[in-house]
Chains A and B, each alone.
Chain A
Amino acid sequence: MKIIINGKEEAVAENATLEEIVASRGLNPGGIIVELNYALVKRESWPDTILRENDRVEILRFVGGG
């Protein structure tokens, strides 16, 4: 199925969880924030969050800024 990650369409396995998506990208879960369809998903809930077709995932982090 396809979902949108950070604005880009990507193909992922059916029933993939948020946890798997983050892990597959080699991201350190400590430093990022994940939003699913414009709602924040807490770190604890990532393994239980199953993705559906056309879901929008935003993976964000704090960076330097003024």
Chain B
Amino acid sequence: MADALKIGGRDLTSRLFLGTGKFSANRLIPEVVKASGAQVVTVALRRVDTDYQEENIAAYVPAGCILMPNTSGARTAEEAVRIARLARAAGCGDWVKIEVIRDNRYLLPDNYETIKATEILAAEGFVVLPYMSPDLSVAKRLAEAGAAAVMPLGSPIGSNRGLRTRELIRILIEEIPLPIIVDAGIGRPSEAAEAMEMGAAAVLVNTAIATAGDPVAMGRAFGLAVEAGRAAYLAGMPGTVDYARASSPLTGFLRD
């Protein structure tokens, strides 16, 4: 398959991962999946609120999509591990997005606990995609711990502030041999395209689609932006030439 994204033994043709939180109605989800082309869809696991009936979100995810439960709500590695095991036992497959957050103000992930959880779950055969604050040594440790991809945040969850961590993500793309998937913060299709142009392997988008005026149309817009950014990356960005022709050549002395 040309330019497939290979993760956990799967070949993905779409590089847009879709989050399912905050939609005004769950029935929009299959339509958004279709319009955006997303093949990986995230869900969360929560305690049931016995006071009012909710629907089972998994029923809205079209067959053929990879269901990726996240471990949101976990504050420690142990809790994340527990959620991941439960989700798998409940029939969710092997994929898991690790998300360990102890900070309720900015919702920034706890990289240390994330590494611990990654190590445990990778050893149990999970396809582990850890959500993290972009940091080179943490990403290296995640790779060593067996992560299948690394998911740095572009800016805090749900903030729609775009690629504030651009430089750090660029370093991860350069240095880490795993797919780098920008998760959180992407507010517009142009930002998704930018991440892809930089060489990100994929982006995960939720809030920007779920809270758009027309989520289905926005899903399509993101799908196109991700494709465009990827195509530009593959085409080889021309780059800016940042040196002027020197007046005194450095190699003029060579005669042989």
Contact = CB atoms under 8 A, between A and B. Distances in A.
A touches B (Cβ under 8 A):
yes
Interface in A11-49: 25-28, 30-33, 35, 38, 40
Contacts of A66: 19-22, 42, 70, 157-158, 183-184, 204, 206-207
Nearest to B59: A31
A59 interface: yes
Interface residues of A, number: 23
A65 B21 contact: yes
A62 B56 contact: yes
How many residues of B sit at the interface, in one of the four size bands? 35 or more
The B contact surface, by secondary structure, is mixed
Nearest to A63: B46
B69 to A, nearest CB: 7
Given A38-B82, A65-B70, A66-B21, A60 B45 contact: yes
B37 to A, nearest CB: 18
B206 A40 contact: no
A14 B207 CA distance: 46
B19 A61 contact: no
Nearest to B184: A66
B160 interface: no
B54 interface: yes
A26 B53 CA distance: 8
A6 interface: yes
Contact of B42 (A38, A59, A60, A65): A65
Interface of B: 19-23, 26, 29, 42-48, 50, 53-59, 69-70, 72, 82, 85-87, 89-90, 92, 157-158, 183-184, 204, 206-207, 210
